Structure 1
Amino acid sequence: MDEAGLYEGAGLQAVDPKGRVAIPADFRSTIDRNSQAKIIVVGFHPTLPCLRAYDTAWSQSEERRFRRMADEGVDIREIERQREAVFGDVERASFDPSGRFILPEFFKDEAKIADWAFFVGAGPTFNIWAPDVLLASDEASPRLKGRCAHMMANRKARG
């Protein structure tokens, strides 16, 4: 099996009033490479104030990791706690050929995503930020904040 594609780069995407947003084209290519399903999994990032998303192949790799942990003697309660965090607090979202999907409403609201979503590659997963939250975050790098601000300024100048 080929090595999984990684999510790299960033993109600013408009979110319509129904919560529809398009996955950036480069990210869509990675999803297509990694998984046959036209589905992404969306949940909360475990440490950052944004959403984390990934293809279904990453879910499978996480389950393999949990099985290795069990084989290594890690306490089953810890494994189950982690499994619940990875698999329980998420929603699947299918996307159309142009990459449009509906951000699950609860996740969208909790992440404070409104008119814009800033997608950031994070290797095997990608993050979806509300630009205002990213720009105010102490956890985000100054360079990433600058890139987001630049994209927002260019979009507003054209819109």
Structure 2
Amino acid sequence: MSDVILYSGNAFSVADGKGRFVLPLEMRRQVKLASGGENRLCLSVHMDNGCATGFGLSHKLFLFEEVNELEREARAANRPFNGDLERENRLGTIEDVNFDEGGRFFLHPDIKEEAGITDVVFFYGVGRYFQIWKPEALVESPDRPALIRNKVRRWLEQRAAEGGK
């Protein structure tokens, strides 16, 4: 069995009265495992998809080591590579936050703004990390699987029919 933590599954979370979201149970377990038993969640923004991302501390270390490997490969091939800039892009935007035993956490305001998130999020496990979407943005993203887009669209329609609760 590999030590790699893989996230899968999906869930919605509506912010509570304090503005906290709830990390889905299985993702919470995986994050805690990936963070050495601590309730420590790493959050960032996906550079290409327009959503936030979440993962445990082990993936943060993976990102650092990946840049070191790219730097070694570039040096061996005698081609230019700006390792410092790449570390800034991959690690400089990560916000580490705590979550309580119920999975409640605050999404950093900068990350919320970049991803357009307000009062509801859709968690979407995609391997080494999970994505955190503004549901409407995911529905409008043609690159996402139709099954997921349709699930989110139906949830939004049901929420609107119930008065947005």
- Report the RMSD for the aligned CA atoms in angstroms: 2.2
CA contact (8 A) 2:122 2:133 kept: yes
2:120 corresponding residue in structure 1: 116
1:58: which partner in 2? 59
Deviation at 1:147, TM superposition (A): 1.7
TM-score (norm 2): 0.85
How far 1:49 moved relative to its partner?
A: 1.3
Any idea what SS the aligned residue of 1:32 has? helix
Within the candidate set 143, 150, 154, 2:154 is matched to 150
Indicate the structure (1 or 2) with the bigger Cα radius of gyration.
2
Distance 2:40 2:118 in 1: 22
1:116: Cα distance to partner? Answer: 1.0
- Cα separation, partners in 2 of 1:69 and 1:104, compared to 1, 3 Å: same
Aligned twin of 2:101: 97
SS in 1 for 2:11: strand
Matches within 5 A, 1:38-53: 38-53=39-54
Give the whole-Å Cα distance in 2 for the aligned partners of 1:139 and 1:90: 24
Contact conserved, 1:19 with 1:105, CA < 8 A, in 2?
A: no
Structure-1-length-normalised TM-score: 0.88
Superposed CA deviations along residues 42-100 of structure 1, whole A, max 9, x for unmatched, are: 11102101111111110111112222222223456432222111111221111001111
Give the equivalent residue in structure 1 for 2:72. Answer: 71
Q: Distance in 2 between matches of 1:94 and 1:76?
A: 38
Q: Which amino acid aligns with 2:91?
A: F
Contact 2:64 2:91 (8 Å CA) reproduced:
no
Query: What is the DSSP-based 3-state SS (H/G/I as helix, E as strand, rest coil) of the residue aligned with 1:72?
Result: helix
- 1:19–1:4 Cα change, 3 Å: same
Structure 1 stretches of 4+ with a deviation exceeding 6 A read: none
2:142 to 138, 142, 146: 138
C-alpha contact 1:4 1:33 (8 A) present in aligned 2: no
Shift of 1:138: 2.6
Contact 1:43 1:51 in 2 (8 A): yes
Q: Which residue of the partner structure matches residue 6 of structure 2?
A: 6
Q: C-alpha distance in 2, partners of 1:96/1:76?
A: 44
CA contact (8 A) 2:50 2:114 kept: no
Aligned in 2, Cα 1:113/1:146: closer, same or farther, shift over 3 Å? same
Identity %: 25
User: Residues of 2 paired with 1:50 and 1:103: CA distance?
Assistant: 12
Deviation at 1:101, TM superposition (A): 0.3
User: Which residue identity is paired with 1:79?
Assistant: G
Which residues of structure 2 form unaligned runs of 5+? none
